[in-house]
Structure 1
Amino acid sequence: MGVFRPKARPRCGVWHVSDPCRDCGDQLAFIYGNSLKIIALLLAGGASSRMGSRDKLLEDVDGAPLLRQRAQACLKSGVTGVRVVLPPNRPERIGALDGLDVEIIFNDGSDLGMSHSLQRGVENIDADALLIVLADLPDLTAEHMQQVVNAAKAHPDATIFRGASTDGKAGHPVLLRKDLFSQLNTLTGDIGAQPLLQRHKLDTVLVPIGASVVRDLDTPEDWAAWRAEQSKDPNSSAQ
């Protein structure tokens, strides 16, 4: 497989997928090789507390629960396997994944925040890299995830890869190489991997995708607005 390897860090200080870099103009060198074992980690352990009596991960998207649709997108994204982190007290979420070729990891400490879900998800994992996907991003497609996977193959010297909006705002999914797995165990609280991502900002490749990388749906109002948009453009939902 052909991949791109940067000759050196671009002058702008941030790895980019485009060749040449749109900011500084530096070129990338073409080589062959590189095969990565990448596991997608779908984080679905949240309490959905802002949805009232509804569970946002069970909201209908294209005739299926959002969680199932997100898992299916992960399976189509070019990764080696998919792990889903779930709370043990949400049997409906388990049922939403019925028949899918995914590994379910139960997080008994979901009340400890997203950091604990990440730590459970990476336990005993055999992978070269981890593709972290939030389960409440309905517009993120398998193709978007594949773009981040491809970027990891194209930039073997970078350690973090993030989907980004068209104006350069970093979002999801996030791909981490295995050298950083141990640092996930130092995280606390409900801000996910943000401290780790900030520490390694200069070793991060931003993959231009669009608004889908930052749009999550947390409230009934969010869902109502999203469904109104879908009714105007029925071809815009994620696959």
Structure 2
Amino acid sequence: MALARPGPIVGLLLAAGAGSRRGGPKALAADEHGPWLTRGVANLMAGGCDRVVVVLGAEADDAAAVLAADPRLLGSAVGVVVADDWATGLSASLRAGLGAIDSDPDLQEARVAVVSLVDYPTLPASAVARSLSGGPAALGVDALRQSVFGGRPGHPVVVGRAHWRDLASTLEGDRGAGRYLREHGAERIDCLDLWDGRDVDGPIG
């Protein structure tokens, strides 16, 4: 008999920043392949996430409209939370996202969150799937994984429920989960054969 799946897997897409170096919010960025925001959601879901929570901030209403306009996401399990203090940095987005998942009555059975950023439009679903590999035992509440690319840390990151509140309490400024992951011995999942793991920077074209 196959083992039961350990509760819903929740993707957390951080997309709240103003994108000052790009000339506008990355949540509104698009290229020849379409909006980064909807691609980020679709890739998380294709990689194994049952639900996706998108954290918005700068120009949140316009970004939410981008999600609502994508027919692939209609009727899917995609939710939005706005980080009111998004301007303080990445920590605010991650803290808001983890808090939203933790407090959602429909997600009390969720054991892990898969964190990614909107400025990884080329993130393949295969990298998400690899970060979730190993079956139920690897996806318990204590799970802590970070994708690496030839030793360089990146995304996606898998955070088990047991870490959500402790991680959130350590976040400040424009720093994410990196220090927490190092201090708690996160398992490193090499994904360099799948993509380069680099974010996209520079002016919006």
TM-score interval, smaller chain: 0.7 to 0.9
Q: Which amino acid aligns with 2:84?
A: D
Q: Distance in 1 between matches of 2:196 and 2:161?
A: 23
* Deviation larger for 100-109 or 61-70: 61-70
Cα distance change of structure 1 residues 213 and 118 upon mapping to structure 2, 3 Å threshold = farther
State the secondary structure of the residue aligned to 2:53.
Answer: strand
Q: What pairs with 1:222-237 in structure 2 (closer than 5 Å)? A: none
* Deviation larger for 207-216 or 141-150: 207-216
* Count of residue correspondences: 189
Q: Distance in 2 between matches of 1:150 and 1:190?
A: 29
Which position in structure 2 is the counterpart of 1:64? 34
Q: Distance in 2 between matches of 1:180 and 1:34?
A: 20
Q: Distance in 1 between matches of 2:188 and 2:126?
A: 16
* Deviation larger for 34-43 or 151-160: 151-160
Q: Distance in 1 between matches of 2:196 and 2:21?
A: 20
Unaligned residue ranges in structure 1 (runs of 5+): 3-31, 225-239
Q: Which amino acid aligns with 1:216?
A: D
Q: Distance in 2 between matches of 1:76 and 1:156?
A: 17
| Percent of paired sites with the same residue | 28
- Residue 218 of structure 1 and its aligned partner are, at CA, apart by 2.3
Which position in structure 2 is the counterpart of 1:24? none
**Kept in 1: contact 2:17–2:58 (CA 8 A):** no
- Residue 190 of structure 1 and its aligned partner are, at CA, apart by 0.9
Q: What pairs with 1:128-167 in structure 2 (closer than 5 Å)? A: 128-151=111-134, 153=136, 155=138, 159-165=143-149, 167=150
Which position in structure 1 is the counterpart of 2:55? 85
Deviations 1:45-77 (A, max 9, x none): 11101012x443333234421111111111212
Which position in structure 2 is the counterpart of 1:108? 84
Which position in structure 2 is the counterpart of 1:23? none
Deviations 1:110-143 (A, max 9, x none): 0121111111112214320110011101221112
State the secondary structure of the residue aligned to 2:21.
Answer: helix
Q: Distance in 2 between matches of 1:161 and 1:44?
A: 21
Which position in structure 2 is the counterpart of 1:180? 163
Q: Which amino acid aligns with 1:115?
A: S
Unaligned residue ranges in structure 2 (runs of 5+): none
Runs of 4+ in 1 over 6 A off after TM superposition: none
- Normalising by the residue count of structure 2, what TM-score does the alignment of the two structures yield? 0.81
Q: Distance in 2 between matches of 1:40 and 1:183?
A: 19
Q: Which amino acid aligns with 1:208?
A: D
> Looking at CA atoms only, which structure, 1 or 2, has the larger radius of gyration?
1
Deviations 1:74-112 (A, max 9, x none): 121211200000016333211111152310001111012
**Kept in 1: contact 2:12–2:53 (CA 8 A):** yes
**Kept in 1: contact 2:9–2:112 (CA 8 A):** yes
